[in-house]
Structure 1
């Protein structure tokens, strides 16, 4: 039986949902010792409001989709599909219980700390209307060595991967301003490919990969990468 707090539990949300922004966060580049990258901006701190925009491509674009937010490793972070990162406060509290210490809003590197929205089961292509901006759910977060070093928790990458509580990367379809306390209005598309399924596909689950490829609801770049994965691994 699936545990009640497992991300693999059935999604209880209605077709559309409403949440709230509890913190808006930006980061500045600082030196980091965790990887070959010179800097990181993972440690983000609260601000009253931000402007969001489409930053363009990962390579050669503006980096973050949040004006004033910096990217430490532009090879792996930022760009259109990772313009804004949102993480549920409920999931941070879940983690805090397990690691035995508080987790501050922004500590996971999220631009938007949200509540009332289940990012684990957010559907690819969900529309989030926040303030005057419109965002689109694109991909889950893949944990990396910088994240692990920042958290300073043994086995963090493995633990985060097993939990599947990844948060949501969003693109910006309509630029605008997002302010702490803003309502998050969610419109869900008519399919069942959620971020957890996509995350499992990204982390080696071929059944999940087939499901995502067959649904053909992810961004064209992501679709092409997953098709290539199936071709190489499944024959």
Structure 2
């Protein structure tokens, strides 16, 4: 099915754009156990190369939970940032939520697991899973009950793996190149994690339509166990 903004039926969603490219500004102390976090990300003016693990010059302080190939890039929509700016009565500037790409005109949270985007001329990214908020995020924001509030909103942005490395800069176009067609969105599974969604994702992987992120598989297994 062609995307709503794709009247010609090409299958590409056009009109999305990268508003800002963000990478770590400085590592910061996190909690009282001597841990550090790289969540303090801020926009950079230059074009940045993106490899299989992250943006060049970026850092993932806790790669076990917040990084690795399946979470190489985190994208967050300006449309959602605008929502939270109103709720929190403060500017949600690019990078404040720890994202690498602040986008506009792209249905980030409505992206199917396994959906592929072309960003700029050569960079190709694949949606792997929704971002799961944690206490590091809450401490960074300093907002009461933040994890619960962000979770209940159900639009957390998405992690992406790098299919084809390439550079990215603010102003680059974002196109949806392909969707697996199974209908399970990253935010939808984040919100409900139903057995039906889990079966669909596992079947899609079995068919070769996608490769599930290692961190997503346990959620699928727990959803099936609860059926």
TM-score tier (shorter):
0.7 to 0.9
What is residue 196 of structure 1 aligned with on the other side? 187
Distance 1:218 1:162 in 2: 27
Q: TM-score, normalised by structure 1?
A: 0.81
1:200–1:209 contact (8 Å) kept in structure 2: no
1:123–1:188 contact (8 Å) kept in structure 2: no
1:138–1:171 contact (8 Å) kept in structure 2: yes
Note closer, same or farther for the CA distance 1:220–1:75 as it changes in structure 2 (3 Å cut): closer
Measured after TM superposition, the shift of residue 42 of structure 1 is 0.6
Note closer, same or farther for the CA distance 1:87–1:31 as it changes in structure 2 (3 Å cut): same
2:129–2:213 contact (8 Å) kept in structure 1: no
Q: TM-score, normalised by structure 2?
A: 0.84
What is residue 61 of structure 1 aligned with on the other side? none
What is residue 225 of structure 1 aligned with on the other side? 218
Measured after TM superposition, the shift of residue 124 of structure 1 is 1.1
RMSD (Å) for aligned C-alpha atoms: 2.3
Measured after TM superposition, the shift of residue 232 of structure 1 is 3.9
What is residue 143 of structure 1 aligned with on the other side? 133
Task: Say how many residue pairs are matched.
Answer: 213
What is residue 25 of structure 1 aligned with on the other side? 22
1:124–1:218 contact (8 Å) kept in structure 2: no
Measured after TM superposition, the shift of residue 233 of structure 1 is 3.0
Runs of 4+ residues over 6 Å off in structure 1: none
What is residue 107 of structure 2 aligned with on the other side? 118
Q: Extract unaligned runs of 5+ from structure 2.
A: none
Distance 2:213 2:123 in 1: 23
2:12–2:177 contact (8 Å) kept in structure 1: yes
What is residue 128 of structure 1 aligned with on the other side? 117
Measured after TM superposition, the shift of residue 196 of structure 1 is 1.5
What is residue 54 of structure 1 aligned with on the other side? 52
